[in-house]
Homo-oligomer: A and B are copies of this chain.
Amino acid sequence: MTEYSSSLLENAVSELARLPGIGKKTALRLALHLLREDTQRTEKLAHSLVQLREKIMFCKKCHNISDTELCGICSNPRRDENLLCVVEDMRDVMAIERTSSFNGLYHVLGGVISPVEGISPSDLKINSLVERVKNEPIKEVVLALPATIEGDTTNYYIFKQIKNEALKVTTIAKGVSIGDALEFADEVTLGRSIINRTLFE
Contacts and interface: CB of A to CB of B under 8 A. Distances in A.
Contacts of A57: 6
Stoichiometry (number of copies): 2
B42 A12 contact: no
Given A29-B21, A30-B19, A50-B43, A64 B12 contact: no
Given A32-B91, A91-B28, A49 B5 contact: no
B3 A94 contact: yes
A165 interface: no
Interface residues of A, number: 59
Contact of A6 (B7, B21, B67): B67
Interface string A8-23: 1101100110111110
Interface of A: 1, 3-9, 11-12, 15-16, 18-22, 26, 28-35, 39, 41-57, 59, 64-67, 71-73, 89-91, 93-94, 97-98
